Amino acid sequence: MAEIPSLFLLAPNNHQNSPRRLRVSLAVRLSEQMGERAVKMAMAIREAAGNLTAVWRRRGRVLGFGAGIAQGYATLGQIGFADRSGYTAIGTVCNLAARLCAEAKDGQILVAQRVAVAVEETTQLEQVGELTLKGLTQPVVAYNAPLTASQLALRVIEGGSQSV
């Protein structure tokens, strides 16, 4: 087993108000900064998505961004059979990240408690509270990486003012 941060993102599909989940698992070299790197990457993607979201909304399409990040142990390897197989990660950490992603509202990056502790000195987080997530027996304390003043394009997603 290897320890990896798992990051899940919401991406658009062809149906209005029905975001499709695009799963991205990060397999990075083990280091103390991997949680921080995952959160910073999600924040950069959120900022880039803000510009794209504004363009698509002018065209009448509903596009949202949400992410879930969890860190822990997962099984990595080839899954499948001879005609169809792929390299993937499976385990509770992947499920937790996917469930946090499903709970995330537009513009939110929900972070599991383990990641929050790892990034608390470098990244500002807001406690969302306990979430009861499908497939997990215990409630999970989640945190949100809030928007910064420099992320004006995403203020539209949250429904807020574009001026800070």
Instruction: Provide CATH code, domain 2-158.
Output: 3.30.70.1230
pLDDT at residue 53 in the model: 83
Q: What are the extents of the domains in the chain? A: 2-158
Using CB atoms within 10 Å of the CB of residue 18, give its burial: 0 to 12 exposed, 13 to 18 middle, 19+ buried. Answer: exposed
Residue that has been written with the tokens 């009861």 in this structure = 132
Q: Identify the pLDDT of residue 161.
A: 41
More confident residue, 6 or 15: 6
DSSP bridge pairs for 81: 84
What percentage of the chain reaches a pLDDT higher than 70?
71
The larger pLDDT score, comparing residue 35 to residue 140, is at: 140
Phi, psi (rounded to 5 degrees) for 91: 145, 175
Task: Tell me what the mean pLDDT of segment 101-108 comes to.
Answer: 90
Q: pTM (2 decimals)?
A: 0.73
CA distance 130 to 59: 37
Predicted local distance difference test score (pLDDT) of residue 48 = 86
3: pLDDT strictly greater than 50: yes
Residues 144, 109: contact at Cβ < 8 Å?
A: yes
Tell me: pLDDT of 22 over 50.
no
Q: Residues 104-121: what's their mean pLDDT?
A: 91
92-101, 116-125, 141-150: the lowest-pLDDT one: 141-150
Predicted confidence at residue 26, as pLDDT, reads 40
pLDDT of residue 103: 92
pLDDT of 131 over the 70 cut: yes
CB 9, CB 67: distance < 8 Å: yes
